[in-house]
Each structure stands twice: as C-alpha cells, then as structure tokens.
Structure 1
Amino acid sequence: MTTGAEDSLTTLETNKPLSESVLWRAQRSYFERVGIDAWRDATVPHYVTCNPALAHAMAQVVLGFLRDCNAGEARAGSEPFHVLELGAGSGRFAFLFLRALAELREVMGWSHVPIRYVMSDFTESNLRFWRAHPALRPFVTAGLLDFALVDVERMDGTLELLESKTMLGAGSLERPLTVIANYVFDGVAQDAFFIEKGQLSECLFTVATETPELDLSAANVLTRLRLASSRRAVHPDYYPEPELNGLLRGYTDRLDGGSVLFPAPALRCLEKLSALSSGSLFLLSADKGHLDEASLALEVDPQVTVHGSFSLPVNYHAFQQWFLRKGGEHICADHRQSSLVVAAFILGAPARGMPEARLAYHLAFNGPSPDGFFRLRQGLEAHYEMLEFEQLLAHVRLSRYDARILGDCLPAFSQKMTTLSAQERVALAQAIGRAWANYFHIGESRDLAFAFAACLYQLGESASALALFEESLVLYGEDPRTLWNLAMCLFALGRPEDAARALVKAGESFPLLHAHIGLLPKTG
C-alpha cells in the first residue's frame, strides 16, 4: 500500500472518511480468507504480544484487579469473573495467559474463585481452530475457557458463549467485565482528523489500484492499493455521541498542527461491553501507539503499516480521555514504552480502590518489564554464542521459559555441551521441559519439538527426548530423520525391537540412512 496517485490507476473510491474506506473491507477479507495462516507464516506480527513474559505480566495485573473486586464484595458470589480477549488471533496469548493465571492462583491460594476466560474474534475459522486445539481443551473441560464470535466494529451489545451456551446482554454480569485487547485496536476502523489553528478537518482518502476489477479477497490485495489523501473542514460536533464530540473539541482547542487518529468504533464497542456489567469495565491493552497528547501532534499524516493486513498507531490518549470523562481511571507506565504500549483503563472501580491492580501493574511494567526484555533480546540474539552457560540460562529464565527464545539459544547451548557439569545438564533439561510446556502449536515450519528432543538426547535424557521426537511426528508427520533419531532413543532405553522397527520405517523412506550412525539434524 503506497500513497500518491497516478493517471493510469483505476479508482475504487474517492474522498471517503478513513473509517468508511474500502481498506477495512480488504482487511476483513484478508483475515476471513487466511484465518490462522496469518500468524502461522508470521505474515502478521504477533510474537511481541504472544510470549510468556507479557502473558504472565498481564495475568498479574488482571488477577490484582479481580482480587480488588472480590475484596469489596459482601460475600463471595458463584458467578465467575469474565475475562474477554478481543481478537485472540492465533490463540497463543490465551494459552500462555491461562497457564500463568493457573500458576498465580495456586501460589496465592485463589483457585477457588471462579474465572471464565472468553476467547473471541470475528472470523469463525479462528474459533474452530481454537475449539479443536488439544492444548486448550483441558481449560474448556475445567470450565475456565469459553469462546465467542465478537466483531469489534459491529458489536451489537450481546455476547454468546459457545461452550456454556450462555447469552449475555446488558446487565447480565454482576461482576465487572475484564477485557484484554492486544494488537487489536491498531487494525480496527478509525477516523483521521487534521488540526491547524483551531480548525478541525477530516482526512479523506481516495483508493486506487493498478489492477482493474480487483478482487478485495485476493491474496496480497493491500499491497496493490494506492492511497491519496485530502482534507475537508468539519465541525467538532462530528459524531452522534456527545462524549466523542467532546474529545474532538478538546483536541481542536489544545492541538495546533498535526493529525489525530480517532478510534470511534473501538470506543463504541467498549461502551456496549461495559453495559454487560452495568457500566463496570477493566480494559488491559497492548499495542503500538501514543499515550500522551504531545506525541499526537508529531504525526502529519496517518502512518499505515502493511504486513499481510495493515495497521495504524493506536491513539491511547483518546481511550484515556474517554474513560476519564465517564468517571473512570487509567494506569500507565512511568516511562516511554518503546516497542509496546501497555495500559489499563477502568470504569466503575471497586469502592475500596484498586491497590492490588496498581501494585501488580507497577511491578510488571514500571521496573523490569516485557517491553524492556523484548528490546534487550533484540540486542542479545546475534551474540548468544558469546554468553556463558549461566548467562544463557538466565536469559531463558527471564523470558519465563519462552520456547522460541530457548530454540534460538540451542546452538549456543550445543557448543558448550561437552563442558557442562552434571548440575548444568540437569538445569538445561529442566529448562527445556518448562519451555516445551509453554509451546502452543499453530503449524509454523520450525519444528521445536525435534530441536528440543535432539538437545535432550545429547544431555543423556533419552526418555524425555523420545517423548518429544514422538510429539514431532504427531505435529509434523512422519519424517525419516525423526524416525531415525527416535530409534536412537529407543536403543538407549534398552528397547532394541522397537528401535529396529523405527529404523526399518525410516530406511524405507530414506535408504541412505542405513549408513548413518548417531542423531540426524533437521534443517529443512
């Protein structure tokens, strides 16, 4: 997607407000067409919001808020606290969050309080994928997880929970609703305005293409669109909702020069979600965007990022002001968050305040934080081989046993394998086990089960290696290299007949294996 216009282009629409642009139809078509593949092949970035460090930090904050609410109740209710994740995408964050929540509740002795986590998205194919995923089924069976079809841009004020077969409407929930929205609002329809010398103008967009009769559901359609923008003076009373117009008027009065993205559809969705619990809402959101008003004026035109889909920076300042105008509160970091803004917003805070939620946020995001760790990892990952064993292991532990990070560290660990003490070998094997427990499979080409199994075999952990080579066969199908390595584990475990059968099967697929002794790598 590029800006500018050319005479040879076919115009799809002319001078449309951003929220009404054909871009959003193309965006929806993309996600409906590709489903989980959007994350499977990493076309749509998601790692920064789908890792154990962020999931654990957010679980601490949510649990803090729920404990604040529970402490203010005259008696413990039987209704569960509902935690709704908008745009759950690959499902990986939900899996990691639920694991972290279970760990924290056990440590705190809070497992008796009912909580229901609801994964949602607007594409039915994503819901089918989650409901069939074996890693999520235990949470469903335990009554901790449900699913719902939720369209942020077209929210009608109801929530149908598919597993419990429950329909929620206005006032259905006695307890406050918690909403998690990671990398969601940057891909939801927004409006764009430009302010100069007290005059508010809406930004209008003309969309054209070099491809006549372009199918909006076609692959890579967003890369074939060309944008041109213009401006039209408008009155600050732009929307039907007075509270939205109040926000626009505030920007018009205070800013002088610069564009403002305005998340009207997202705010309308939050209004309807808050009605489910009679106006009480706790929003915890992570995305790229702006929290302070001063940074809004630095943008001359909306900055569009294309990655299979497309995204825009989130105007979190508008969220903050919207909550404040409704008597709400917000919690944000005491420093600039460079890679990911994480902020909390509250309507109808408990009467006793929110000491536990505020403390949890402070500990999770104002000190050593997922954002800081992400930046540190970017600097370290090219130099893992230079780190000592204990430094590498500390890095993995600080990531809260991130399977991807451990996978990246494996070559450096392998270089040190012959010099490891017995205690170090045990520690590495334990780290692999904990990282694998955090792995949520969505079908990426990288076979971490195979890589972890090979390392465990080198550590002398043949039984654990065998289990992961078997897992590799389940996830990626029969591969002669996996079968051969599985046979090596079986030989080491004193099961020669089973090993022989695996070798025969491997040799039938790849006869040259008969000349190989030892483990085989899987590099392609």
Structure 2
Amino acid sequence: MSQSILWQLQYEYYQAQGINAWGQGQTPSYITSNSFIARQYAEVVFGFFRDLHRKGIAQARVYLFEPGAGSGQFAFLFLKALAKACEVAAFPVPEFCYIISDFAERNVQFWESHPQLQPFLDRGQIDFAVFDAGKDTTIKLRHTGKEIKAGSLQTPLIVLANYFFDSIPQDLFYISQGKIEEALPSLTVEGAARHPNPVKLLKSIQMEFEFRETASKYYPESAYNDILRYYQEILEEGWLLFPAPAFRMLDRLQSWTNSGLLLLTGDKGVQTLAELKGMEMPEIILHGGFSLTVNYHAFHQYVSANQGLGMMPAHLNPYLNVHCFLFQEDAETFQELRNAFASTIGEFGPDDFFILKKVIQSRIPKMKWKQIMATIRQSHYDTRVFQKLLPRMRKLVIGLQAWERESMLATAAKVWEQYYPISSGDSLAIDLGQLSFVLDDFASAKTYLQHALKTVAGSVEIFFTLALCFDQLEDYVAAEKYL
C-alpha cells in the first residue's frame, strides 16, 4: 500500500496548499499545537537534558528535529516553554538548535519570514530545512548552511513528530489463520469526472483491495520481517497497518549520530496487542488531505529490536496517543527522562487536556471568574482556550474587584506571549485590545490594537477605540488621527 498513488495525491495536496492547509482550517492541528502539549513535551526534553548532563554527553550542540512541521505553531510554543525551563535550570543546559522542516518549500518560506520565530533565530536556537521523509538522507539548514548527514552529530538527536506518521505511507496486510496477505489498493474516481484539484480528487476516490500472499522475506530489512512474522503468529484474524516507511526514516535519522535518538510522537493510533486483535479495515479519514491510524504497537517492537526503550501512558486515549522512544543501549538508565514522561504525559496528557477542554466549553455560560482564571492557567495560557472563554469574561468584567481586574490583565499578557498567527484573519490582538479597554488599561489596549492593524483591515470600531485610548492617555494629536 505504501507504493499506492494515493500517497502522491497526499503529497500534491500539501505542496499545493502550503500554509493554507492549516491557516484555513482544512487540516486539524489544535490538539498537537497548543500550549499544554508544548509545555509537556518541553518538560520531557528538559528531563532528557538533565540525563545528558548527568552522563556528561552534552558537550556539543544538541539538535532537535521536527519533520512535517506544518504551520510551525508547535515549534514556537515548544521553544517558548523550553526557554522558560532553561532559565531556571540548576545545571548547565546544553546549547540546542530546533530544526523545523517540511517537504513543502512554501511552508519553509513561511517560517523563515515569521516574526515570532525571529528571536529564536537570532539566538541560534532554530533553523529551517526542506526534508522529504520518504527519501532524504541529508538536510541542509537554511540559515547556517550546515549539512547534516550520516555521522554529522556528536550528541543524541531529538525528534518531535506530531500528526506526522498518520499522514505518510504505510503498508497494509490481512492476517487469517496464520496466513498473511498484502492488501493492494485499487483506486477509482467516482463518476466519470477527473479532478485536477487534489482536494476534490481525494474526496471522489473509491478504493477496493486485492490481496497477494506475502513472502517470508517481504522487506529487505530483516528486523521488519521479524516484526511482521510476530504479528502473523500471534494475530488470528484482522487487518494490520505496518509503518515500514516510518521505520526507514528513523533508520536514516539514526545514522546522523552515533549517540542515539529520542523520538517523542503524538498521533491517533493503537498501542496494545488487544487493540490489534480482530482489527477492522482501517478508515481513511479525509480532512483536506487524509490520514490513517498509526500502529504504535509496532513502533514499540521496532525500538526493542534496536535495544531501545519505549514509553507510553498506562491508560488508552481516544483522540491522541503520545509515545516516547529512546534508541540507546543503556536507555533504562535515563531516569530523568523516564520520570518526566511518567509525571506529565503518563499521568495527564494532551488527550486528557483535550477531553477536559471539550467538557469545559459546554459549561462556559455558567462559569465564574475564578473558574475561568483556573482554566486559562491550567491550559498554560493557551490562546484558543482564552478566546473560547472571552465572551464570558466580558460579561463578568463589571462586577470584578480591582485585584481581579489586575489579575485578568496579567493573564491576558501571558496569553499574548503564546501568540503565533497563522492566517491574516487572526483576531487575538483585537480581542485582547478590547478586553484591556473595558478593564481601563488603555496603554495595553492601544498596543494590542495597533498590532492588529498590521495584519487586519482597520474597522470603525478599532479606529474609534484607539482614538479613545489615546484620549485617555492625553495624547490628543494621536487620537485625532483615528477619528
């Protein structure tokens, strides 16, 4: 299945759409691009940094690598969270550089020009690269010009991959009574129409499968065949997705360094053998492009074959499964990493946060001020959570005491620190400006609204509010400019 033309259509879709795939809401990304998940990933990586320091490994720059980074929002939020952790570290934090990559050139250009990423670029903590997960063996960093290839790195490589493995090629098999067959998709376009637009074409495709008995050495890689044979022996009947292309990418990334690799990844997927038993035909989920379930159980088999360690939450998650894989012969001794994962993602992870957020949203109209503030803090000042709560906050402003108003303004400022606009229609600056105005913080309201005018067309309401702000600040000349 990994050789199907279906994946070429996926490739063409993301090439054609570029950042619009996320900016226009076609591709879901919130669950993997919010302040909560970024904070948890940062805590896990920071735990890994502590292990590297304890073991005396981090003597050179540590590279973090994100394939298929999409809008770049996760990278921004992660770096913000990691920077805060490093500021109060009780040990020398290693120098690090976050490589944000994608196969779509338009996405790379978007990141290069994004003002929110510029401070990290100035500090040498971020760089950009074009990377095709299906074939590339090297990358060249756009800012420094450094080429990373086999044997280039002296420290472990940290790979962060969210909503990624569900969107790259996989193989599909059917197992029955000890026999395993490859499922080969046959695609037809609904009706007689042929759509040059990959979005329309994907929506009109119908798929059927032909089956071909699988040879004992199906893959050139013996380790992959061993895992496939394991499933053939232990599963009685059902469908099996097998992420061989993902394993090949990880093999190539491991060649970049002789010091091991840490993979932190979140996707919708299965993680236990019980979930795989009797598995029905995988559903292809359309959302602009398309995605499939990820077989994380196979990832754990793969890391074990590489003498590594896999970590996962003890409970199953309906929306997002986050797993941590350490490819190190002494992986068991990375105790700080293991503790960090267990105490964050292992206890209450991004999926739990997403579920709780949905519950809270249904109760917003009745929420009190202290409940709203606690929710925003619990989200680590996530912009989406804040904007969902904003209408209720406006209704509560009149009855707030002075200290409560100050607390709300301080909270708004922390939310602003998480701001990463993807499309020109983002309204956070306007929302914060209007809230600050009704809270009588005219200086902040002015700053937010002037920032909004850089990306959105001015409205009568914005201009009039700005005029009132300058009037209250006794800058009457500036006030007249907006009237």
Matches within 5 A, 1:388-467: 388-443=368-423, 445-467=425-447
8 Å Cα contact 2:268-2:319 kept in structure 1: yes
Number of equivalences = 483
2:232 equivalent to 1:249: no
Q: Which residue matches 1:3?
A: none
Q: Does 1:377 align with 2:357?
A: yes
Do structure 1's residue 63 and structure 2's residue 46 form an aligned pair? yes
Q: Over residues 148-172 of structure 1, what are the superposed CA-to-partner deviations in whole Å (9 max), with x where a residue is unaligned?
A: 11111122x2121111111111111
Residue number among 310, 317, 328 corresponding to 2:290 in the alignment:
310
Structure 2: 5+ residue stretches without partners = none
The counterpart of 1:324, out of the listed 293, 301, 304, is 304
Deviations 1:315-340 (A, max 9, x none): 11111101101111111111112221
Give the alignment of 1:5-404 within 5 angstroms.
Answer: 18-73=1-56, 77=59, 79-110=60-91, 112-155=93-136, 157-210=137-190, 212=192, 214-278=194-258, 280-349=260-329, 353-404=333-384
Conserved 8 A contact 2:154-2:259: no
Shift of 1:110: 4.9
Find the residue that maps to 2:116 and give its secondary structure: coil
Q: Provide the rounded CA distance (Å) in 2 between the counterparts of 1:85 and 1:111.
A: 24
| SS of equivalent to 1:20 | coil
What displacement does 1:350 show?
5.1
Contact 2:49–2:94 (CA<8 Å) still a contact in 1?
no
After TM superposition, the structure 1 stretch with the greater mean CA deviation from structure 2, 297-306 or 263-272, is: 297-306
What's the offset of the Cα at 1:234?
A: 1.5
Is the Cα–Cα contact under 8 Å of residues 53 and 92 in structure 2 kept in the other structure?
no
Amino acid at match of 1:240: P
Say which SS state the counterpart of residue 184 (structure 2) adopts: strand
Give how far 1:404 is off.
1.0
Distance verdict in 2 for CA 1:357–1:351, change over 3 Å:
closer
The corresponding residue for 1:507 is: none
Percent identity between the two aligned chains = 34
Q: Which moved more, 1:239-248 or 1:65-74?
A: 65-74
Distance 2:97 2:251 in 1: 21
1:322-380 CA-to-partner distances (Å, cap 9, x unmatched) read 11011111111111122210001111255781111111101111223322121011011
**Two-structure CA RMSD over aligned residues (Å):** 1.5
Q: Which has the larger displacement, 54-63 or 350-359?
A: 350-359
Task: Determine the C-alpha separation between the residues in 1 that align with 2:370 and 2:77.
Answer: 25
Tell me the residue number matched to 2:455: 475
2:16 partner letter = R
Residues 1:407 and 1:293: Cα distance change in structure 2 (over 3 Å):
same
Q: Write the distance in 2 (CA, Å) between the matches of 1:196 and 1:489.
A: 72
Q: Which amino acid aligns with 2:140?
A: E
Asked whether the 8 Å contact 1:407–1:452 carries over to 2, the reply is: no
Q: Secondary structure at the match of 1:154?
A: coil
Cα gap change, 1:96 to 1:351, in 2 (>3 Å): closer
Contact in 2 for aligned 1:72/1:351 (Cα 8 Å): no
Alpha-carbon shift at residue 218 of structure 1 (Å): 4.0
Report if aligned partners of 1:68, 1:350 keep a CA contact under 8 Å in 2. no
CA displacement, residues 102-122 of structure 1 (integer Å, 9 cap, x when unaligned): 000112145652011100111
TM-score (norm 1): 0.90
Tell me, which stretches of 5 or more residues in structure 1 are unaligned? Answer: 1-17, 504-524
Query: Take 1:408 and 1:465, find their aligned partners in 2: how far apart are those partners?
Result: 20
Partners of 1:68 and 1:352 within 8 A in 2: no
1:194 aligns to what SS in structure 2? strand
SS in 1 for 2:482: helix
| 2:424–2:456 CA contact under 8 A, matched in 1 | no
Q: Deviations over 1:118-138 (max 9, x none)?
A: 001111110000000000011
Residues 396/269 of structure 1: CA separation in 2 closer, same or farther (3 Å cut): same
Does the 8 Å contact 1:236/1:248 carry over to 2? no
Which residue does the alignment assign to 1:520?
none
Q: Deviations over 1:406-436 (max 9, x none)?
A: 1110111111111101111011111111001
Secondary structure class of the residue paired with 2:362: helix
Secondary structure of the residue aligned to 1:146 is strand
Structure-2 separation of matches of 1:351 and 1:389: 46
Distance 1:110 1:145 in 2: 22
Question: Which AA in structure 2 matches 1:327?
Answer: Q
The whole-number CA distance in structure 2 between the counterparts of 1:298 and 1:467 is: 58
How many Å separate the matches in 2 of 1:427 and 1:478?
29
Deviation at 1:279, TM superposition (A): 6.2
Bigger mean CA deviation after superposition, 240-249 or 376-385: 376-385
Q: Which has the larger radius of gyration?
A: 1
Is 1:69–1:350's contact at 8 Å kept on the other side of the alignment? no
Q: Evaluate the alpha carbon distance shift between residue 110 and residue 486 of structure 1 in structure 2; reply closer, same or farther with a 3 A threshold.
A: farther
Q: Amino acid of the residue matched to residue 457 of structure 1?
A: F
* Cα gap change, 1:110 to 1:224, in 2 (>3 Å): farther
Larger CA deviation: 475-484 vs 207-216: 207-216
- 2:474 aligns with 494
Q: For residue 308 of structure 1, what is the amino acid of its counterpart?
A: G
Runs of 4+ residues over 6 Å off in structure 1:
none
The offset of 1:488, in angstroms, is: 1.6
